[in-house]
């Protein structure tokens, strides 16, 4: 278990580039594998999770090659996927396992899909339920992986999502492409829409209106080039670092600014953060631009409701910013955090308390009493093998008395292998 001391920093005037968006990288491989023709993907995130997605689709018979920092997906249409005689291994990726369950539900063969020690603890029933309504059959470990998918002929359904979940929604959409009849999905709260945007870009028969998504199967998707924008979840750590460090300005280049993902920017502005957007453009149906953050006096806010799906992955680092702010921050309606790589409500609270922050646990969130900009006290931080916990508290270390010691830092490789290289860049005085 590798440990790393991250020291305090200030006076940072840096421009950084974060790696490609993880959600879009996964979808580029999955949808590119279902399309007909050669999909060329640039700025692909090379992390454990996304590389496992490539391995899964190669196991399903798709030719995927890397040439000069670009990935070439030689798709032969959704009907060309073939049975793997080995269990498909997704590693730590909830996106891969849930979306692929949707894809394979519509195939006339049996598949087994599983992952690492954390994935086998995460609930798959939320995906199994709607796919079963479509006619798919499953065998599982009480609703958890490993999952056996008994694929076959599916029928279109009308389905109201019981929770805001892009993964569940995407699994149903991908299954619906191979079903008989149209499928309609109703969202109680709009969640990230990368799947819908990419399906439209590839020519899938999908329409959206006021929280209702409709898919009519039958039209084959055709390959398109995909540029993966910088991951806003990765950029969030450096955006917040720029707000918290003294005398600092950080520009993060070419960040994906999908409106279903920009909750981090909206909330930090509400907290008093000085944030600007520059060079806004659209690439393969996704908005992209530079995000510039400057040292700010942050204040506590209330976060909940429809905002939560727009920043669910960023809540650990938002909690760090809230701990540094003046006043009280209340986070509610975030029970989904309990079903991530760790129970992130519990693990964030444990580590905030270690660095001297008063925090109260709620069933669906927490109440953080900010210290008003007082440097955090030194402590050993346990990442609990959760990449977002490790990265969030590395940002806290920049505003600590003597930094922080982060335990088990290898876990960041699941989503952001270059994280500590960029941290070193911004912490050099």
Report the distance separating Cα 379 and Cα 75, nearest Å: 50
Model confidence pLDDT, tens digit, residues 229-280: 999 999 999 999 999 999 999 999 999 999 999 999 999 999 999 999 999 9
- Give 339's pLDDT tier (boundaries 50, 70, 90): confident
* Residue 152 clears pLDDT 90, i.e. is over it: yes
Residue range 383-407: mean pLDDT, rounded: 96
Whether the domain at 3-19+230-427 and the domain at 22-217 fall into the same CATH topology: yes
Architecture of 22-217 per CATH? Alpha-beta prism (3.65)
Mean pLDDT, the chain, whole residue set: 96
Homologous superfamily of the 3-19+230-427 domain (CATH): Enolpyruvate transferase domain (3.65.10.10)
Q: What are phi and psi of 249, to 5 degrees?
A: -140, 125
Residue range 147-169: mean pLDDT, rounded: 95
Confirm if 112 and 140 have CB atoms less than 8 A apart.
Answer: no
- Break the chain into its structural domains and give their ranges: 3-19+230-427, 22-217
Q: Which residues participate in catalysis according to the annotation?
A: 313
pLDDT at 39: 98
- Give 22's pLDDT tier (boundaries 50, 70, 90): very high
pLDDT at 1: 75
* Residue 428 clears pLDDT 70, i.e. is over it: no
Report the distance separating Cα 391 and Cα 161, nearest Å: 31
pLDDT at 429: 58
Report the distance separating Cα 186 and Cα 21, nearest Å: 26
- Give 210's pLDDT tier (boundaries 50, 70, 90): confident
- End-to-end Cα spacing for the chain: 29
Torsion of CA 13, 16, 22, 28, to 10 degrees: 140
For 320, what's the count of Cα atoms within 13 Å in the CB-facing half-sphere? 32
Residue range 315-321: mean pLDDT, rounded: 98
pLDDT at 65: 98
Model confidence pLDDT, tens digit, residues 103-118: 999 999 999 999 999 8
* The Cα angle at residue 259 between residues 123 and 343, in degrees rounded to 5: 25
pLDDT at 250: 98
């Amino acid at each position: 278990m590798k440990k790393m001391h991250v020291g305090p920093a200030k006076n940072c005037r840096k421009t950084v580039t974060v790696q490609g968006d993880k959600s879009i990288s996964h979808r580029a491989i999955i949808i590119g594998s279902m399309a007909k023709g050669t999909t060329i993907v640039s700025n692909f995130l090379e992390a454990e999770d996304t590389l496992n997605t490539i391995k899964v689709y190669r196991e399903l018979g798709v030719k995927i090659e890397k040439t000069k920092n670009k990935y070439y997906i030689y798709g032969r249409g959704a009907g060309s996927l073939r049975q793997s005689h080995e269990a498909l291994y997704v590693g730590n990726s909830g996106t891969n396992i849930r979306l692929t369950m949707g894809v394979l539900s519509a195939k006339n063969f049996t598949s087994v899909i599983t992952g690492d020690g954390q994935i086998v603890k995460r609930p798959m029933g939320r995906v199994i339920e709607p796919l079963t309504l479509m006619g798919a059959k499953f065998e599982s470990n009480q609703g958890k992986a490993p999952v056996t998918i008994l694929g076959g002929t599916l029928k279109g359904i009308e389905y109201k999502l019981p929770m805001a979940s892009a993964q569940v929604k995407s699994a149903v959409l991908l299954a619906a492409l191979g079903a008989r009849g149209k499928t309609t999905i109703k969202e109680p709260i709009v969640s990230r829409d990368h799947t819908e945007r990419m399906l439209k870009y590839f020519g899938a028969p999908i329409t959206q209106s006021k929280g209702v998504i409709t898919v009519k199967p039958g039209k084959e998707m055709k390959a398109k080039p995909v540029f993966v924008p910088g991951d806003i979840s990765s950029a969030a750590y450096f955006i917040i670092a720029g707000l918290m460090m003294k005398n600092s300005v950080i520009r993060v280049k070419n960040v994906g600014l999908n409106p279903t993902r920009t909750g981090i920017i909206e909330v930090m502005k509400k907290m008093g953060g000085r944030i600007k957007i520059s060079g806004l453009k659209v690439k393969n149906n996704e908005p992209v631009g530079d995000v510039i953050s400057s040292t700010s006096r942050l204040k506590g806010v209330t976060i909940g409701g429809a905002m939560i799906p727009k920043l669910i992955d960023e809540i650990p680092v938002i909690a760090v910013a809230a701990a540094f702010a003046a006043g009280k921050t209340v986070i509610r309606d975030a029970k989904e955090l309990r079903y991530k790589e760790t129970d992130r409500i519990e693990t964030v609270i444990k580590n905030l308390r270690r660095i001297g922050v008063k925090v109260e646990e709620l069933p669906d969130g927490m109440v953080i009493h900010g210290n008003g900009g007082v440097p955090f006290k030194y402590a050993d931080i346990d990442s609990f093998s959760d990449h977002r916990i490790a990265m969030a508290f590395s940002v806290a270390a920049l505003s600590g008395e003597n930094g922080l010691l982060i335990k088990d830092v290898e876990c960041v490789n699941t989503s952001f292998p270059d994280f500590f290289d960029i941290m070193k860049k911004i912490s050099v005085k």
